[in-house]
Amino acid sequence: MTEDEFDAMLAESEPVELTGPPAQIRPVTFELISGDLRAYRWRLVAADGEILATSATSYRSADEARRVLTTLMAAMQRAPIVEADGPAAPQAG
């Protein structure tokens, strides 16, 4: 999915509000990982160590990865949940 397609999907969807007690929200951390060729990736990790998400792209610098994460965190504040057509992603196992 391109950035333009993602933006169009956001524009067509309804906003979602998180409700419920804060205790139900799992504490998470974004970790920056330095790869072999000075490439950086990120992963979202729960307090119990479970990896919840990983970057699909590598970045040239830690600063670039941080900028992307800052944008992602802002977008997540208003990101809707939408039904997607197509096959489900394979489960890690």
Q: Is residue 92 part of a domain?
A: no
Q: Is residue 13 part of a domain?
A: no
Contact (Cβ atoms closer than 8 angstroms) between residue 30 and residue 44? yes
Domain encompassing residue 75: 27-79
Q: Is residue 59 part of a domain?
A: yes
What pTM does this model have?
0.59
- In order along its 93 residues, the chain shows pLDDT tens digits of 455 655 565 556 555 555 555 566 778 889 898 877 789 999 989 888 889 889 888 899 889 999 998 898 888 888 888 888 877 666 655
CA distance 50 to 68: 22
What is the CATH number for 68?
Answer: 3.30.160.160
CA distance 65 to 69: 6
Q: Domain total for the chain? A: 1
